[in-house]
Amino acid sequence: MKMRGVGIGSAFYGTGYGNGFPDISRCQVELQKDGKVAVYVGATEVGQGAKTIMSQMAAEVLGLPLEDIIFSCEDTRLTPDAGTAAASRQTYNTGNAIKKACENLRQRLIDVAVAEFKFNSDVGVTMKNGLVYFKTFPSKSITLQEIASKFVEVPLREEGVFTAQTTKMDEETGQGAPYWPYTFNVYGIILEVDTETGIVDILKAVCAQDVGRAINPELIEGQMDGGFAMGLGYALMEDLNLQQGQMKHKRFSNYLIPTALDIPELEKIIIEDPESTAPFGAKGIGEPVMLGVAPAILNAIYDAVGVRITEIPVTPQRLLKALKK
């Protein structure tokens, strides 16, 4: 018999290292001789889209097209330390460092233009599309390439450093502010349980994810799809089968992961609530998108068959055993 159930799982997640641990990101930006800007940052790209979104941040501050940003990471000869690609911290932490570095470079470029045109102030001086110009007298302009030609021996370079706000929790009371900021989400699952085979089939899934501000919605949706797939595998399939410290399931023949046939289309709802301390309001969601999946699935199984499962993954064998009890 197939029994249908509905489940909801919600989560909140503090991004960054937390609990008072130093959480620092650094970035350096440099004006190139062709007028493009190089961004040097040790933010590792592991498929989460860091290069794209951080290049977008730099381009936004400097008023440049994305193709004029040269993003360099993962090369310790060139890049300052930006911490690990962990704790869903890079968008917020390193994004803030990049924003600061680019703002510092932008001001340097404006200062050069002010000196060049002998203005008495930088009020009304702005930059866009590789030009630094006076808003009300746009013919008074200088290109970034022309500015770069004045700094051949020592190129214009600026740095940005950002330290996340975190305090150590009180060991006696357990109180404190270990993380900032937090992100939130909720998953909804509709599934069917085959009570004869113990197989769980996910019919429909929806995720509403707080992102702060969606700088790149397509990347966000990709994160949500990936997190859902990983959470589903965690809940229903992936079992290391540890026995006395030894992994018995250490091959893909017995350590099962979801395939495209196991994953229904996920309805994705992006919730924008800009974070005031974040770069352009954006928050990291790399790990949070996984957290609500398993609770939602377990709640839906309970709704379907009235049995509360307390061990994952919910393999057919485990589910049938629980049903018999």
* Catalytic positions, written as ranges: 287
DSSP conformational letter for 260: G
Identity of residue 265: E
Q: Which residues contact 26 (CB under 8 A, 6 or more apart)?
A: 41, 42, 80, 81, 82, 97, 159, 160, 161, 162
Say how far apart CA 302 and CA 215 lie, in whole Å. 38
Distances (CA, A) of 120 to 86, 125, 183, 271: 47, 11, 45, 45
d(CA 158, CA 105): 6
- Largest Cα span, the chain: 86
**Parallel/antiparallel/unpaired status of strands 182-194 and 200-212:** antiparallel
